[in-house]
Copies of this chain bind each other. A is one copy, B any other.
Amino acid sequence: RSLRSTRDSTGKQVNATTCGLKSLTVSLFNAFLGPNTARINNCQGLCVFPLSDPIYHTLLLISYIENGNVKERAPCCVPIAYDALVVIKVKLEGTYICLQPNMLATKCGCR
Contact = CB atoms under 8 A, between A and B. Distances in A.
Contacts of A60: 26, 28, 31, 38, 40, 103
How many copies, total? 2
Interface of A: 24, 26-28, 30-31, 38, 40, 42-44, 55-57, 59-61, 63-64, 72-73, 75-80, 82, 100-105, 111
Given A31-B59, A100-B56, A26 B64 contact: yes
B57 A40 contact: yes
A77 to B, nearest CB: 7
Contact of A73 (B27, B44, B82): B44
Contacts of A42: 61, 72-73
